[in-house]
């Protein structure tokens, strides 16, 4: 079973923008539709939408506060219920691994739901965009591609789908984009079955781990520097399935001559493009083939230089470990999370807080308000407080209500020069100034000014 899904959001700021629409279609293994789901919600009071996002998606500003729509928490609770009912499945969309999936994870986390639903309990995830990109190289007749201004194949869904026979009159509507995605997937399954079937079979993390064994030469297909390509690689690390990434060495690098190089020389070698060491996401359905598959399906063989590099790496496990360690040393450290929305990866909830979350979901609003201060982890206490404030603010104490209100005002009215990671009203106004004036932008501007009047900061 496959779950094709898409989201429409308030913008592209991964930690601070909000999902406004979620749509999904369940299909069987032959991509025949089994069920569909489409839901929208109201805007959270501390989120300012990007004017360009509203213009592109066509979401009327007036609907952002439509009382007939569910709140964000209610929407995400319904999304979770539907996706769990459809599980286990392979979750797939168009550019979902880079955009929709991270937004969906954060939406679940911010509403106290399990954020990693799409990779738990037998689920796996895929992304159609990399398959479409790789098909332009491995199966060039499978799809027709729009041409960009630079004369290269284009991959935008709103251009690709119509060119391949889909009447995409609802581009940038989540359900319309899901339908377009399924149309392209069906074409690939029919016209490039080896590409589709291998990717679907290898979507579960354990299947990718099984193939990517240290010392095993594999063919990696991807899109890099504006072009689809393939390269021979070999896994270096010994983590098996315990990590999220595999450290891969490109075998078109002369590793035999680098085995005696010093650390500084190796670090310099890492800076060339394409990088000789690459991370491959184990749970992101990478497009990889064994030597036998590459030969049998695509008629691609490793050359003598690649085989020589492979033997050099297999013969020197200590050198492989050294490469992995040096790569880790050269990677920039992640900045420490400062704001609540950025703390999703700080730690998993302990058993007590996990149990409280499920109790929270089955309770009514007065009981939820009572549970807020029982969470041990301050992050979940704050998230629970936000949920109650948005859904039933009268159930909070006046002190807590005022604190949240003041925090919202500070966020909305942050000055553009403050360099905050979220979008303030000042940021949205500035973006509007860069857009061509039309009836749509005028409506967005009027709505934004009304928001500013309603949320005047309290002294």
- DSSP line for 45-83: TT----HHHHHHHT--GGGGG-TTSPPHHHHHHHHHHHH
Per-residue confidence at 228, pLDDT binned at 50, 70, 90? confident
Report how far residue 105's alpha carbon sits from residue 118's, in angstroms, rounded to the nearest whole number: 9
Q: Is the pLDDT of residue 280 over 70?
A: yes
Q: What is the mean pLDDT of residues 259-286?
A: 89
Q: What is the mean pLDDT of residues 9-35?
A: 97
Q: Are strands 217-224 and 227-235 parallel, antiparallel or unpaired?
A: antiparallel
Whether residue 73 contacts residue 391, with contact meaning beta carbons closer than 8 Å, is answered with yes
Q: Element (H or E) spanning 442, and its range?
A: helix 439-454
pLDDT in tens, 435-446: 988 988 999 999
pLDDT in tens, 107-125: 999 999 999 999 999 999 9
Token pair listed for 117: 């639903």
- pTM for this predicted structure: 0.93
Which three-class secondary structure state does DSSP give residue 7?
strand
For 361, residues 6+ apart whose C-beta sits below 8 A from its C-beta are: 77, 112, 113
Q: What is the mean pLDDT of residues 84-93?
A: 97
Report how far residue 137's alpha carbon sits from residue 221's, in angstroms, rounded to the nearest whole number: 9
Which three-class secondary structure state does DSSP give residue 37?
strand
Which three-class secondary structure state does DSSP give residue 207?
helix
Long-range contacts of 288-295 (CB under 8 A, 24+ apart): 288/202, 288/208, 288/211, 288/212, 288/218, 288/219, 288/220, 288/221, 289/198, 289/218, 289/219, 289/221, 290/211, 290/216, 290/218, 290/219, 291/217, 291/218, 291/219, 293/198, 293/219, 294/218, 294/219
Q: Is the pLDDT of residue 276 over 70?
A: yes
- How many CB atoms neighbour CB 370 within 10 A? 13
**β partners of residue 224:** 227
Domain spanning 205-330, CATH architecture:
2-Layer Sandwich (3.30)
Q: What is the mean pLDDT of residues 133-160?
A: 92
The conformation of residue 303, written as its DSSP 8-state character, comes to: -
Whether residue 435 contacts residue 49, with contact meaning beta carbons closer than 8 Å, is answered with no
Q: Where do the domains of the chain lie?
A: 2-201, 205-330, 346-454
pLDDT in tens, 362-390: 999 999 999 999 999 999 999 999 999 99
Whether residue 19 contacts residue 104, with contact meaning beta carbons closer than 8 Å, is answered with yes
2-201: CATH number: 3.30.420.10
């Amino acid at each position: 079973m496959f779950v094709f899904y898409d989201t429409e959001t308030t913008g592209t700021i991964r930690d601070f923008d909000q999902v406004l629409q979620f749509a999904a279609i369940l299909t069987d293994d032959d991509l025949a539709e089994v069920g569909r789901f489409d839901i929208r919600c109201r805007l959270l009071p501390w989120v300012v939408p990007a004017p360009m996002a509203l213009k592109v998606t066509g979401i009327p500003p007036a609907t952002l506060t439509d009382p007939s729509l569910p709140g964000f928490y209610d929407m995400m609770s319904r999304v979770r219920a539907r996706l769990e009912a459809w599980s286990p499945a392979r979750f797939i969309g168009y550019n979902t691994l880079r955009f929709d999936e991270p937004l969906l994870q954060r939406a679940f986390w911010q509403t106290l739901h399990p954020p990693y639903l799409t990779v738990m309990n037998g689920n796996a995830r895929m992304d159609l965009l990399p398959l479409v990109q790789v098909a332009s190289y491995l199966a060039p007749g499978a799809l027709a591609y729009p041409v960009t201004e630079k004369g290269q194949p284009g991959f935008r869904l709103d251009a690709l789908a119509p060119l391949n026979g889909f009447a995409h009159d609802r581009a940038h509507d989540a359900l319309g984009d899901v339908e377009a995605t399924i149309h392209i997937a069906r074409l690939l399954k029919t016209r490039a079955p080896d590409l589709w079937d291998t990717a679907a079979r290898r979507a579960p993390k354990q299947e990718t781990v099984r193939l990517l064994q240290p010392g095993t030469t594999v063919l990696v297909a991807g899109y890099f520097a504006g072009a689809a390509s393939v390269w021979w690689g070999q896994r270096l690390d010994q983590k098996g399935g315990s990590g999220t990434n595999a450290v891969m060495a490109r075998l078109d690098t002369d590793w035999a001559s680098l085995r005696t190089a010093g650390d500084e020389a190796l670090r310099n070698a890492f800076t060339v493009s394409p990088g000789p060491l690459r991370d491959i996401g184990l749970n992101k359905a990478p497009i990889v083939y064994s030597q036998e598959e590459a030969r049998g399906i695509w008629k691609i063989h490793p050359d003598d230089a690649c085989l020589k590099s492979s033997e050099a790496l297999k013969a020197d496990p200590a050198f492989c470990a050294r490469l992995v360690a040096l790569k880790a040393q050269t990677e920039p450290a992640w900045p420490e999370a400062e704001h609540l929305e950025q703390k999703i990866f700080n730690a998993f909830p302990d058993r007590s807080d996990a149990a409280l979350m499920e109790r929270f979901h089955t309770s009514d609003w007065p009981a939820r308000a009572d549970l807020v201060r029982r969470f041990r982890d301050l992050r979940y206490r704050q998230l629970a407080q936000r949920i109650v404030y948005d859904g039933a603010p009268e159930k909070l104490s006046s002190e807590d209500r005022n604190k949240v209100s003041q925090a919202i005002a500070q966020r909305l009215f942050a000055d553009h020069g403050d360099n905050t990671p979220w979008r303030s009203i000042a940021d949205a106004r500035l973006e509007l100034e860069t857009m061509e004036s039309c009836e749509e932008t005028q409506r967005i501007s009027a709505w934004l000014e009304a928001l500013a009047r309603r949320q005047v900061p309290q002294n």
